[in-house]
Amino acid sequence: MAETLTNGHAQSYVGTRTIRPDGVDKVTGRARFGADFSLPGQLIGRVLRSPHPHARIISIDTSKAEALPGVKAVITRADFADQPSEFIPAGEMMMNYKDVVRNVMAREKALYEGHAVAAVAATSTAIARRALKLIDVKYEVLPHVIDVVEAMEPGAPLLHDDLFTAGVEPKPEKPSNVAKRVEISLGDIEAGFKKADVVVEREFKTAPVHQGYIEPHAALASVSEDGSTELWCCTQGHFIVRAHCARLLGLDISKIRVTASEIGGGFGGKTVVYLEPLAIALSRKAKRPVKMVMSREEVFKASGPTSGATVKVKMGATKDGKFVAGFAELKYQAGAFQGSPVQPGVMCAYAPYDIENVKVIGYDVVSNRPKVAAYRAPGAPISEFAVESVVDEIAKKLRLDPIELRMMNAAREGTKAAYGPKFGPIGLEETLNSIKKTEHWNTPLRKWQGRGVASGFWFNIGGETCASLTINEDGTVSLMAGTPDIGGLRASLSMVAADELGIPYDKVRPIIGDTGSLGFTFLTGGSRSAFSGSMAIVEAAKQIKTELCARAAKLWELKPDQVEFSGGSVRALGSAAEKFKPMSIADFAKIAGKTGGPIGGYGRINAQGAGPSLGTHLVDLEVDPETGRVTILRYTVAQDAGRAIHPSYVEGQFQGGAVQGIGWALNEEYIYGEDGKLQNAGFLDYRMPVASDVPMIDAILVEVANPKHPYGVRGVGETPIVPPLGAIANAMEAATGIRFTELPMSPPKVLKALKEKGANGASGSDR
């Protein structure tokens, strides 16, 4: 597997398929996830949630619940101090503690069905459940609004009477549900459309979808009499959890120690807090550990999802296929509090293409739904779905091959993106080329079958990151990272550490440190953890190598420039090389005490230069004209990984993202009744893809090195969910002749469209 290099020491693990160091724990049931922690004397915490989508909370009487034997603490809004309105960046999204404190526990109003209103801690689940029934909440039920377009209408029920649309001049005099208007523009959009020979304009609608992680949120808090707080939880960022809890509970950051459990999926949905501050508040009151775990219904009703949206796209192209104008208007649901991912949606809409004239407008709109959380490339799948659908229509109108059309307009190194920067080296053209070369692209289809292609873009981020490497007494290495391992991070970082230090991979043992072990490390999100974590490891390894060289120079009485670290050893250079036998890390470890003490490196960086990752997806599907059911027959993903540290886990990101996108395109949606209540808050009715729904997903790794990373790495995790929506809609058009503009393309909708349009499935045999 790993090669031994000519020097006999160094091995090259990056690019190979190692076994993950945490693997055995995860196939034997030993790995401890959020709900797997327990403490002696722990209480069980449960949340009382609003049955109404919109209601003023007149009063909350907890006295009967508190009197129930076995109940040790009850908390409500009264247990959380109000927070001032202040926007702070939170990774790919913005947040405001005034809203966060209201989302974790309703204050003036309950703003969605499932909004937390009170919580109890009791000696058993049964008692906690009984206690919830004894809490008397008096509501004044208010009219609600669920749909984004309805929420924007002048007479719509108002969620927040202090919400005035930002980003418009003059400032509105009346509050509304439109939190924000954002706009980007490049060139002159009007002039662009004048140059166009063909213009396509369409309106699209997408449904809100949940991240769908299999592990429900879980937290276990223990607060001691002096306020020292320990918290175990499943999160994508335990340092972020610490920051939020400190702020919401008025604690010093140093008093809270958060340990991230293994995390059973997140996809962006575990970048915020729900149970964590409640568990701490209950434990603080009860002076006993409190464990809280959400039910699946609570996960659906009170966490995630991502926005549903209404999107208008208008694009113009010349008759030979050059895009000359791209306009879009995006209206994204934020849920009950502002902060939808409309900003990245706006920025990504046309990012895959080199277009001179672009204008994209976005609206962030609140309605009586759970507050959205980040979901894999937040905002991008929605806007790019709309644009990729229109690109396909332009190809059809101009009788151009959709891959050729994309190739002609592809963003490449030097392209100025409408959202600002000039791209460095990026790999869209390479992904298009590799798709074109596949046998898949060149295989004929039958009646009722269709083939679709679409590309996708995501920025990726870097950010604050710490990681340490410690040389143990026997020369083995302890690696500590500060971002939870959500899908192979320990393996990737260990491979980089092994290569940097020239030691065997199995001599590196990685752990995820708690918040007391490392400096602030931003969360696992933005496809950043392998990218920036490996940069921090390179920095830590550099410190070790520098230190070892200094020690060798001292031992050998040479000048610093007469020694170097290579192939896992420190070597004397030039004439001294014959005199001194190279010293390995293990050699130094043995004599560490006599040469200056323990050896280690600590990378503390603010990682910059995350290269965008672009991808192209190709899908074949078949429509059943009798039921409207769509079967995915074949699927190929090509994406630029920069450099794949661990190819299997990179492929896994491509495959998993594609299948999440398939679910988004075909089945998944939040279904609300007229009463504003969610009707499908369970896995049976919220229909995520299962194994029998999908084929094998072919993954093509394209590697256009990111020059800003020592190994050329780009984040890969998010881009794969961007293209599937458009690719599937385009394949549906190819199979049926019908342009589907509303997601999901679920059987009832497909059947209705087939009947209305009298489709005969003939277009599938075109290609």
Nearer to other proteins by C-beta: 316 or 657?
Answer: 657
**Does residue 511 bind other proteins (CB under 8 A)?**
no
Measured between alpha carbons, how far is 409 from 485 in angstroms, rounded to an integer? 37
**Does residue 691 bind other proteins (CB under 8 A)?**
yes
Measured between alpha carbons, how far is 253 from 631 in angstroms, rounded to an integer? 51
Nearest to 207 by CA among 147, 268, 297, 271: 147
Pair 535, 603: CB distance under 8 Å: yes
Measured between alpha carbons, how far is 718 from 650 in angstroms, rounded to an integer? 11
Which member of 262, 393, 640, 668 binds other proteins (CB under 8 A)? 262
- Alpha helix ranges (H) inside 46-122: 63-67, 97-104
**Does residue 660 bind other proteins (CB under 8 A)?**
yes
CB of 298 to other proteins, least distance (A): 11
Which member of 2, 10, 14, 20 binds other proteins (CB under 8 A)? 20
Which member of 486, 512, 618, 665 binds other proteins (CB under 8 A)? 486
Going by C-beta distance under 8 Å and a sequence separation of 6 or more, which residues neighbour residue 656? 487, 720
Tell me which residues in 695-754 interact with other proteins (CB under 8 A).
Answer: 696-697, 699
Pair 21, 510: CB distance under 8 Å: yes
Which member of 88, 168, 577, 690 binds other proteins (CB under 8 A)? 690
CB of 656 to other proteins, least distance (A): 5
Tell me which residues in 107-126 interact with other proteins (CB under 8 A).
Answer: 126
Interface segment toward other proteins; rule CB under 8 A; list 106-114, 288-296, 498-506, 671-679: 288-296
Nearer to other proteins by C-beta: 487 or 603?
Answer: 487
**Does residue 133 bind other proteins (CB under 8 A)?**
no
CB of 491 to other proteins, least distance (A): 9
| Bridge partner residues of 572 (DSSP) | 563
Which member of 214, 577, 591, 671 binds other proteins (CB under 8 A)? 214
**Does residue 130 bind other proteins (CB under 8 A)?**
no
**Does residue 649 bind other proteins (CB under 8 A)?**
yes
Which member of 488, 676, 723, 764 binds other proteins (CB under 8 A)? 488
**Does residue 40 bind other proteins (CB under 8 A)?**
no
CB of 501 to other proteins, least distance (A): 24
Cis amide bond preceding 744, omega within 30? yes
Nearer to other proteins by C-beta: 67 or 690?
Answer: 690
Measured between alpha carbons, how far is 671 from 370 in angstroms, rounded to an integer? 13
**Does residue 1 bind other proteins (CB under 8 A)?**
no
Nearest to 683 by CA among 697, 663, 655: 663
**Does residue 17 bind other proteins (CB under 8 A)?**
yes
Measured between alpha carbons, how far is 397 from 384 in angstroms, rounded to an integer? 20
Which member of 192, 452, 657, 764 binds other proteins (CB under 8 A)? 657
Nearer to other proteins by C-beta: 357 or 719?
Answer: 719
Pair 701, 658: CB distance under 8 Å: no
**Does residue 658 bind other proteins (CB under 8 A)?**
yes
Q: In terms of DSSP bridges, do strands 477-481 and 508-512 run parallel, antiparallel, or are they unpaired? A: parallel
CB burial of 373-403 (b: ≥16 within 10 Å; e: otherwise) equals bbbbbbbbbbbbbbbbbbbbbbbbebebbbb
Nearest to 415 by CA among 329, 343, 368, 352: 352
Residues that bind other proteins (CB under 8 A): 17, 19-20, 22-24, 26-33, 35-36, 126, 211-216, 262-267, 293, 295-296, 486-488, 646, 648-649, 651-652, 655-660, 682-684, 688-694, 696-697, 699
